[in-house]
Amino acid sequence: MNPRFQPGDRVKVLHRDQPGHVRTPMYVRGKTGVIERVVGSFPNPELLAVGHSGLPYKMLYRVNFRQGDLWEDYGGPAEDTLEIEIYEHWLAPV
C-alpha cells in the first residue's frame, strides 16, 4: 500500500458527521494541517469497533496543526502546535 500523502503535504480533514466509533475528533474536522510523517497501514478502527475485520488496511498519518487554527480563542504562542494521527480516508489534499 502506497501512501497518498508525504511529509510536508498540506491536507484538510474532511468534515463528515459520521456516527459510531471514529478516531477523528470534531475539533480537527474541516481544519488544515501538514503531514508530519507516514505512520503506516493498519486495519480500519471504525470497522474493527463494530466487529468487522478492519480490511482493507488504511494508511495512518501524523498531522501537525497550529493550535491557533484549531481554536479561535487560543491565547498561547503562535508557534504552538498539536499533532494527531489521522487515517487517510479522512484527509484531502489542499
Parse the chain into domains and list their residue ranges.
10-93
**What is the Cα–Cα distance from 66 to 84, expressed in whole angstroms?**
11
0.95 cut: is pTM over it? Answer: no
User: What helix, strand, coil percent values describe the chain, rounded to 5?
Assistant: 15, 35, 50
Which triple of cell numbers denotes residue 86? 489521522
Distant-in-sequence, close-in-space partners of 44: CB < 8 Å, separation ≥ 6: 54, 55, 56, 57, 58, 87, 89
Q: Which regions of the chain does DSSP assign to beta strands (E)?
A: 10-13, 32-42, 58-66, 81-87, 91-93
What pLDDT does residue 17 have? 84
What pLDDT does residue 86 have? 98
pLDDT lower than 70: segments of the chain: none
Q: Which CATH class is domain 10-93?
A: mainly beta
